[in-house]
């Protein structure tokens, strides 16, 4: 009986962490557009990881209770950064720059369906009829999005469609990020995950970022853009990673997927309110279809199905995804 209040409080705090994470992601996805208009993409990404690295210097220290990272864990940490940080940032910033925050929000609403498919491939989770229906809804929503672009809208159709492709690639990267993240939360603390994958992102981005920085006129950047860059760096590299990994410690991944609905909604709201992007009736219809698919994925069917996907301790004390994710053969 004494444990129930603590479990309830942990669950509520985890829900708050997950909701705030997706709201912040949606906000910085939209706000990356004005930043990309000032900074070259590789320089923007390099500065983001640099800001995050400075902010997380104290998070590098390994907790005493945390075991040393195995070769398998090191590989997963690298992939988490390469796919979820390095490639995601490049695709997302280029995509939003070409297509806009509202369109990016519509496309990103299929993240839960993509995560479900990847969970089936890598974690051997079952794909239900509802998930298949959600994937269809996402495809239809993206297809309808193309109809919103009139020839005289001021945005070249070919450029916008290429931006959509980049955003979809960032969705795939986010899917890998979610699937790999399920394993890492069982072996590393949220702060360590955030610090290490950010460091890898900085290393991967340094060659191109440093090359562009040597030719860039930093004095021409206004103070407002520097302030926006600071928010972007802290939100993308520090706050969202730590909040998401913290929430996953107490909430099953199947329930955590519900909160991704806040990503496209926040991106669209910021795009309309802060950036003055148009929001048409066709946008609303495509959003409704895509979000309907998202609800098909995330809403529980019945208690038994929900409990079956709960993360339960294994014989080694780690969540099931840690054991199911493909492992490298160890040399003896």
107-161 pLDDT per residue, tens: 877 777 787 778 778 877 666 777 778 777 877 776 676 566 544 445 556 788 8
Buried b (16+ CB within 10 A) or exposed e, 18-46: bbbbbbbbbbbbbbbbbbbebbbbbbbbb
* Residue 303, in any domain of the structure: yes
Helices 190-213 + 71-81 axis angle, to 10? 50
| More confident call, 232 vs 284 | 232
* Residue 98, in any domain of the structure: yes
pLDDT of residue 287: 77
The pLDDT > 70 percentage for the chain reads 79
* Residue 176, in any domain of the structure: yes
163 token code pair = 């931006």
* Residue 252, in any domain of the structure: yes
- Give the residue carrying structure tokens 């409990």: 307
How far is the CA of 183 from the CAs of 73, 122, 165, 306, in angstroms?
9, 11, 28, 19
* Residue 143, in any domain of the structure: yes
How far is the CA of 312 from the CAs of 249, 309, 317, 320, in angstroms?
11, 9, 9, 7
* Residue 81, in any domain of the structure: yes
Residues spanned by the domain of 29: 21-59+68-324
Which stretch, 183-192, 213-222, 248-257, has highest mean pLDDT? Answer: 213-222
Least confident of 11-15, 48-52, 138-142, 199-203: 138-142
How many domains is the chain built from?
1
d(CA 14, CA 230): 26
pLDDT of residue 324: 47
* Residue 15, in any domain of the structure: no
* Residue 258, in any domain of the structure: yes
- Please, what is the average pLDDT of the chain? 79
pTM of the model as a whole:
0.75
The pLDDT > 90 percentage for the chain reads 31
Q: Is the pLDDT of residue 260 over 90?
A: no
Q: Is the pLDDT of residue 282 over 90?
A: no
d(CA 5, CA 214): 55
pLDDT of residue 285: 83
Q: What is the pLDDT of residues 72-90, one digit of tens each?
A: 999 999 999 999 989 998 9
259 token code pair = 């909160």
């Amino acid at each position: 009986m004494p444990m129930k209040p603590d479990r309830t409080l942990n669950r509520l705090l985890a829900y708050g962490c997950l909701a705030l994470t997706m709201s912040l992601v949606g906000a910085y996805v939209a706000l990356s557009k004005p930043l990309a208009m000032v900074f070259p993409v590789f320089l923007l990404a390099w500065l983001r990881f640099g800001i995050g690295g400075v902010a997380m210097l104290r998070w590098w220290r390994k907790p005493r209770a945390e075991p040393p990272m195995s070769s398998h864990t090191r590989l997963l940490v690298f992939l988490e950064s390469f796919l979820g940080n390095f490639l995601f940032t490049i695709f997302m910033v280029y995509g939003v720059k070409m297509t806009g925050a509202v369109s990016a929000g519509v496309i990103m609403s299929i993240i839960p369906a993509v995560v479900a498919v990847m969970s089936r491939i890598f974690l051997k989770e079952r794909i239900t009829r509802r998930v298949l229906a959600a994937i269809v809804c996402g495809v239809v929503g993206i297809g309808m999005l193309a109809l919103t672009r009139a020839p005289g809208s001021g945005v070249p159709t070919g450029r916008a469609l290429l931006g959509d492709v980049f955003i979809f690639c960032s969705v795939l990267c986010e899917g890998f990020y979610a699937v790999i993240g399920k394993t890492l939360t069982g072996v590393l603390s949220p702060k360590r995950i955030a610090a290490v994958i950010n460091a890898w992102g900085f290393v991967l981005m340094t060659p191109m970022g440093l090359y562009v920085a040597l030719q860039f006129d930093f004095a021409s950047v206004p103070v407002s853009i520097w302030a926006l860059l600071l928010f972007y760096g802290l939100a993308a590299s520090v706050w969202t990673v730590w909040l998401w990994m913290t929430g996953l410690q107490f909430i099953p991944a199947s329930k955590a997927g519900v909160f991704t609905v806040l990503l496209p909604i926040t991106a669209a709201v910021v795009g309309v309110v802060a950036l003055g992007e148009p929001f048409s009736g066709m946008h609303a219809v495509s959003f409704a279809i895509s979000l309907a698919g998202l609800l098909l994925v995330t809403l529980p069917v019945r208690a038994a199905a929900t409990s079956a996907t709960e993360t339960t301790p294994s014989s080694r004390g780690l969540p099931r995804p840690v054991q199911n994710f493909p492992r490298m053969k160890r040399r003896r």
